[in-house]
Amino acid sequence: MTAQAIAKAKVFIVDDHPFMRRGLAATISDQDDLEICGEAAGKSDAMQLIAETEPDLVVIDISLEDGNGIELIKDIKGRWPEMRMLVSSMHEESLFAERAVRAGAMGFINKAEPVEQFVEALRRVASGRIFLSQRMTDRMLNQAIAQNEEPPASPYERLSDREMEVFEMIGSGLGTKQIAAKLELSRKTVETYREHIKSKLNLSNGTELTRHAVQWVLERG
């Protein structure tokens, strides 16, 4: 009598760096209980391929080829409410973990963490449990207890998800017209976001906004 094969959790990767996708895929393929079912570099391809491959878990980066991982999480959640998602990113956990969870993800892990930690995160989220660092878990619990009465630790936390996306694009060198085209928004709407960002970050003009955005992007690699 042969032992029954163990059912493997199907994992889909969304990351704009081919080298990173290859590394994640290799790590996942080494596990007895996980397997890769597909990958994509951006939002549009991801939505199409996820529909075709029907993964159990989607691993998503914050910065994508054609948009933002937070917006992709919202799109996936809207179409597949039960889909389990884990964010794997070099972006700061303090800025993006809570945004990711609010959008519908079940965890966040920094790409600098050891492979063993990444695999643990995959298994925990695949099984339906939340994965966050202990520091982030404590912080979110403290915020819930305080009912968000404490001021944000960083001024960037005041930015909405869309404002953060625009801010990152400004820091990557995109102008208003390019941002509008990429996000499928009007230039007027993008200008409104720019004004909101300047107000929330207490910046006087467009030059200061660009300088701060570029510095922010450079500091985060």
CATH number of the domain enclosing 212: 1.10.10.10
Question: In this model, does residue 48 exceed pLDDT 60?
Answer: yes
148 occurs within a structural domain: no
In this predicted structure, what is the pLDDT of residue 144? 63
The domain of 164 spans 155-219
Strand partners, 86: 59
In a shared domain, residues 215 and 174: yes
User: Which amino acid type is present at position 146?
Assistant: A
Total count of domains within the chain: 2
List of residues 6+ apart from 203 with CB closer than 8 A: 197, 209, 212
Tell me what pLDDT residue 13 has.
97
> Which domain-ending residue is among 112, 143, 174?
143
Mean predicted lDDT score pLDDT of the chain: 87
* 118 pLDDT tier (thresholds 50, 70, 90): very high
Domain limit, last residue, from 83, 118, 143: 143
Q: Tens digits of per-residue pLDDT, 85-95? A: 999 988 877 78
Mark which of 143, 172, 205 sits at the end of a domain.
143
Same domain, yes or no: 122 and 165: no
Are residues 197 and 130 part of one domain? no
Domain shared by 117 and 187, yes or no: no
Distance CA 76, CA 73 (A): 5
127 shares a domain with 172: no
pLDDT digits (tens, 9 = 90+) for 64-103: 888 789 999 999 999 999 999 999 988 877 788 888 998 9
Query: What is the arithmetic mean of pLDDT over 6-35?
Result: 92
Report in angstroms the alpha-carbon separations of 151 from 138, 143, 148, 170, 193. Answer: 16, 10, 8, 26, 22
Are 139 and 164 found together in one domain?
A: no
Phi, psi angle pair for 9, to nearest 5°: -75, 130
In this structure, what CATH number is given to the domain that contains residue 84?
Answer: 3.40.50.2300
For the segment 12-29, the average pLDDT, to the nearest whole number, is: 93
* Domain shared by 162 and 95, yes or no: no
Q: Domain for residue 149, yes or no?
A: no
Residue 3 lies in a domain: no
The answer to whether 87 touches 79, Cβ cutoff 8 Å, is no
21 and 83 both lie in a single domain: yes
**Has residue 1 got a pLDDT over 60?**
no
pLDDT of 138 reads: 75
Domain-located, residue 137: yes
